[in-house]
Structures are given as C-alpha cells and as structure tokens.
Amino acid sequence: MQEVCFLIGRGGAVLHADASDSPAALPDTRARWEAIWAHREELEVIAHSHPVGPSAFSAEDESTMSAIDSALGRAVRYCVVAPRTTIARTGDGPTETVTPEPWWAHLLRLASGMHGRR
C-alpha cells in the first residue's frame, strides 16, 4: 500500500496525482509543489489517502496545509481518504465527514492499494 495525493480542480477533475512508497507517509516533493503552483487558479481540493488510517489529519498534514494556504493566499479544501471514510476541512473550519464521497475517493483508494484486502 502507499499514500497517494490528488490535486482536484473544478468539476472533480484530477489535475495531478503522485504516490509515495509508504503506507504511512507522503513526503512533500518539489514536483507536487510545482503542480500545486501551476494549477493554483483552478485548484479546489488537495486530497491524500491514509491507507492504514486514521481518518484524521496528522500534525504533519496540518503544517503542510497551512504552508500551502499561506503560499496561495487562500484556503484550499483538504481531504483525507481513509479505508472507510473521507474527511475534509477548509481553512480553520471544522473537520467534516464527506457524504456522499466524491467519485475520485474510490480511485484514490484503488491507487493506494486499499481494495482487495478485506
């Protein structure tokens, strides 16, 4: 399994995707940052998977999220796709469970290796 990151634009379009080689980490990469910057006008959601949970933002996630928001000058919506739920947060708002899940949540689980292990 691996953590996977999607950049999502208007209409649920996947603008960029990349994967780590770990089920529990997704290091910042220059390539992802360049994709965020290149797509900054149309970027709506930054989503990543937690193939082994939890369905929560990690402390590292939170520092990355605030760094991206301050670099872009606006609050992006962030999602974590865990095995059973997708959560989201925008800016300092509450963390909410997303129902129904966006179409790409299934794709993110599939790319992360979350299917086929039940």
Q: SS3 for 20? A: coil
Between the alpha carbon of residue 56 and those of residues 8, 25, 27, the distances in Å are 19, 14, 17
Q: Please, what is the minimum distance in Å from the beta carbon of residue 23 to Zn ion?
A: 11
In this complex, which beta carbon is closest to Zn ion, that of residue 2 or of residue 58?
58
Choices 10-18, 58-66, 88-96, 107-115; region in contact with Zn ion by CB under 5 A: 58-66
Residue found under tokens 């220059």: 30
Report the alpha-carbon distance of residue 52 to residue 1 in Å, rounded.
8
User: Of the candidates 9, 17, 23, 61, which one interacts with Zn ion according to CB under 5 A?
Assistant: 61
In this complex, which beta carbon is closest to Zn ion, that of residue 3 or of residue 102?
3
Question: Using CB under 5 A as the criterion, which residues of the chain lie in contact with Zn ion when the complex forms?
Answer: 58, 61
